[in-house]
Amino acid sequence: MRLGLTDAYRQAIAATRELVIFDAVEADPSKETLLAAADAGRAAEVASVVGFGGGSPMDVAKLASYLLGSGDDLDSIWGVGVATGKRLPLVLVPTTAGTGSEATPISVITCQGGVKLAVNSPPLIADWAVLDATLTLGLPRSVTAATGIDAIVHAVEAYTSARLKNPLSDALAREALRLLSTNLLTAIEQPANAEARSAMLLGAHLAGLAFSNAPVAGVHALAYPLGGLHHLPHGLTNALMLRHVLQHNLEAAREHYADLAEIIDPDCSRQGSQARAALLIERLDRLAQESGLALRLRDHGIAFDEAPQLAKEAMKQTRLLVNNPCEISEADAQRLYEAAW
């Protein structure tokens, strides 16, 4: 709002209908914020909802439009496929290239004790997604980096998803990874580069479509406790765990990682799958390093001896862990947090 990003959109809407603004969505939106948004909509008797911003405002808009349209009680719809009611008409306008929330049926809400709960159900898929790259021009370096890495993780985890991977999600994930990996550093170094920004926004959207079909897994499962307990940006927490979880998955996901390596480095196609899979991890790690993010847990105020607690929290992300190419036990998770420290 302060940056004026919403001005043209507000004018366009206000020309034909009355507009009510709810602009109190924090990062990692809480249940209270969501219910306040729904209350504001109910009080104004709104007929439709526009979600505008990064993943947090879009997630709130999705679920608020559902609560308003269906009349369902929030605590009765957590989980996969539980929400089956009808929401209000919904438009989503992303202002970062990362979350892909404008493409997905998922809203993640932070509940009591920092636990993240999700509603994942088809009614949450928006009627329209507006990909307007001008909204992402000038986005700060750290935000571009963290959100871009998040989108890359969506593509990689969709491509290796243990349960619902399919030819469509594969095609979406591959094209997303191509767009994102070739444009991330340009978007970071040239914040006003419209071509790179467009490619990132489209890449993030395609990655969102990919993981709507073949859901994300271990990197996200281990990232969530870092966000919940330390309020770090979602994309950053994924970047912190990326290399370590991919390394853990290396044997189980070897052929898939080898496929993806060829997208990032076509020259590696003559190498064996083991070498290509290792190359993918190395290239993604290098991309994360070059994006300028500090990639150790210790850089972000996390203590080494928090690893057991983080591992315990990660085990609660069963909806994500089941999609990982191999098991991540609590002991594995602790070891991975310690490696990331």
Residue nearest to Fe ion (CB): 150
By C-beta, is 38 or 118 nearer to Fe ion?
118
* Cβ-based burial of 81 (10 A; exposed 0-12, middle 13-18, buried ≥19): exposed
- The separation between the first and the last C-alpha atoms of the chain, rounded to the nearest angstrom, is 37
Structure tokens, 54: 């990064």
Q: Cβ of residue 142: shortest distance to Fe ion, in angstroms?
A: 16
Structure tokens, 114: 């920092």
Q: Cβ of residue 312: shortest distance to Fe ion, in angstroms?
A: 21
By C-beta, is 150 or 259 nearer to Fe ion?
150
Is residue 164 within 8 A of residue 213, CB to CB? The reply is yes
By C-beta, is 126 or 258 nearer to Fe ion?
126
Q: Cβ of residue 119: shortest distance to Fe ion, in angstroms?
A: 16
Q: Cβ of residue 104: shortest distance to Fe ion, in angstroms?
A: 10
Q: Cβ of residue 152: shortest distance to Fe ion, in angstroms?
A: 10
Q: What contacts 119, CB < 8 A, 6 or more positions away?
A: 63, 66, 77, 78, 79, 82, 83, 106, 107, 109
Q: Cβ of residue 30: shortest distance to Fe ion, in angstroms?
A: 18
By C-beta, is 207 or 261 nearer to Fe ion?
207
With CB under 5 A as the contact rule, which of the stretches 10-18, 143-151, 240-248, 255-263 interacts with Fe ion?
Answer: 143-151
Q: Cβ of residue 63: shortest distance to Fe ion, in angstroms?
A: 17
Contact with Fe ion (CB under 5 A) among 150, 157, 259, 313: 150
Identity of residue 228: G
Q: Report how far residue 284's alpha carbon sits from residue 279's, in angstroms, rounded to the nearest whole number.
A: 9
With CB under 5 A as the contact rule, which of the stretches 5-13, 61-69, 148-156, 263-271 interacts with Fe ion?
Answer: 148-156
By C-beta, is 102 or 150 nearer to Fe ion?
150
Is residue 129 within 8 A of residue 92, CB to CB? The reply is yes
Q: What contacts 146, CB < 8 A, 6 or more positions away?
A: 98, 233, 234, 235, 236, 238, 239, 293
Q: Report how far residue 170's alpha carbon sits from residue 213's, in angstroms, rounded to the nearest whole number.
A: 9
What 8-state DSSP symbol labels residue 324?
Answer: S
By C-beta, is 41 or 235 nearer to Fe ion?
235
With CB under 5 A as the contact rule, which of the stretches 66-74, 145-153, 281-289, 326-334 interacts with Fe ion?
Answer: 145-153
Q: Does 59 bind Fe ion (CB under 5 A)?
A: no
By C-beta, is 59 or 175 nearer to Fe ion?
59
Q: Which residues bind Fe ion (CB under 5 A)?
A: 150
